[in-house]
């Protein structure tokens, strides 16, 4: 079995967000980057669990410049077998999906896993686009994935409950909380990652369908008002007239 896990570079959740070039680009100065948590904690770790139980091969792919290599190396340290970096950088979801699909089309994967979304753009679009480009079934926001022969049984959240889906491989699945438990690279994995294959490939021809016009930070939060617990009338007045929640 061959599994492909899609890996994205995202800012650490504690990073201070700022923009440059007239608010059209994210300011990366001083920012610590990490593997997108949904890609790492759920998609990658579930792939590694399947590798251990089914003797699967786990490939990793990222679309980005040389600055993404430390991120993909960490994914190799966790247990990935081989990695591919498409040597281009774009915020356009369709363009990124087209690069992943072009690679997957040549390799013939049985299972393609993505995180449900990235924590920077929150687009949640890559998995569905990859599936469409490859003409494969797609199951989103999956919280559990089991394989039996050529059939995947997938539990996914829906409004008000849970849905259980049976689908034949190959399939594209986006993963969320519940899919697996996070892992930490050990020293053996870190050392092995230095020599594992990381191929740099040139991008396939693809259209770019969207461009970022600008970013805006949310409004600054108002100061906190402290109300004495004995002054219920003042609290009610503020909730009604200022917060407008009652």
Residue 147 lies in a domain: yes
Q: What's residue 170's pLDDT? A: 97
In this structure, is residue 244 part of a structural domain? no
How many contiguous H segments (helices) and E segments (strands) does the chain have? 7, 13
Residue 98: inside a domain: yes
Is residue 146 a part of any domain in this protein? yes
CA 61 to chain centre: 12
Look at residue 61 and tell me if it is in a domain: yes
Residue 45's pLDDT is 95
Virtual torsion, Cα 130, 133, 137, 138, nearest 10 deg: 30
Strands 2-6 vs 57-63: parallel, antiparallel or unpaired: parallel
Q: Is residue 237 included in any domain, yes or no?
A: no
CATH number assigned to the domain comprising residue 52:
3.40.50.620
Tell me, yes or no, whether 30 lies in a domain.
yes
Model confidence, pTM: 0.85
Q: Which tokens is 164 given?
A: 């259980």
Amino acid 238: pLDDT: 86
Does a structural domain hold residue 230?
no
Number of domains in the chain: 1
DSSP codes of every residue in 166-224: EEESSEEEEE-TTS-------HHHHHHHTTS-EEEEPPPP-----------PPPPPPPP
Which residues does the chain have with pLDDT short of 70?
none
Structural domain including 211 reads 2-218
Cis upstream peptide for 170 (omega within 30°)? yes
Q: Taking Cα atoms as reference points, which of 226, 18, 170, 201 lies closest to residue 99? A: 201
138 CA to centre of own chain: 16
What does the pLDDT look like over 76-98, one tens digit per residue? 999 999 999 999 999 899 999 99
Give residue 93's pLDDT.
95
Cα separation, 45 vs 78, in Å, equals: 8
């Amino acid at each position: 079995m061959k599994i492909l896990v899609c890996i994205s570079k995202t800012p650490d959740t504690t990073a201070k967000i700022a923009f440059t070039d007239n608010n059209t680009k994210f300011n990366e100065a001083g920012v610590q980057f990490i593997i997108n948590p949904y890609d790492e904690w759920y998609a990658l770790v579930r792939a590694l669990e399947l590798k251990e139980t089914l003797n699967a091969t786990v490939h990793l792919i990222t679309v980005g410049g040389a600055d993404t290599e430390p991120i993909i190396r960490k994914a190799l340290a966790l247990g990935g077998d081989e990695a591919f970096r498409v040597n281009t950088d774009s915020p356009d979801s369709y363009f990124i999906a087209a690069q992943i699909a072009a690679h997957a089309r040549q390799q013939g994967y049985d299972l393609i896993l993505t995180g449900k979304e990235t924590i920077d753009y929150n687009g949640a679009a890559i998995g569905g686009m990859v599936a469409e480009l490859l003409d494969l079934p797609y199951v989103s926001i999956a919280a559990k994935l089991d394989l039996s022969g050529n059939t995947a049984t997938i539990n996914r959240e829906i409004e008000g409950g849970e849905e259980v889906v049976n689908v034949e491989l190959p399939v594209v699945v986006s993963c969320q909380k519940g899919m697996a438990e996070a892992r930490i690279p050990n020293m053996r994995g870190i050392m092995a990652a230095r020599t594992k294959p990381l191929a740099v490939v040139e991008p396939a021809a693809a259209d770019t369908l969207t461009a970022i016009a600008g970013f805006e930070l949310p409004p600054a939060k108002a100061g906190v008002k402290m109300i004495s617990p004995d002054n219920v009338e003042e609290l009610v007045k503020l909730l009604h007239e200022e917060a407008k929640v009652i």
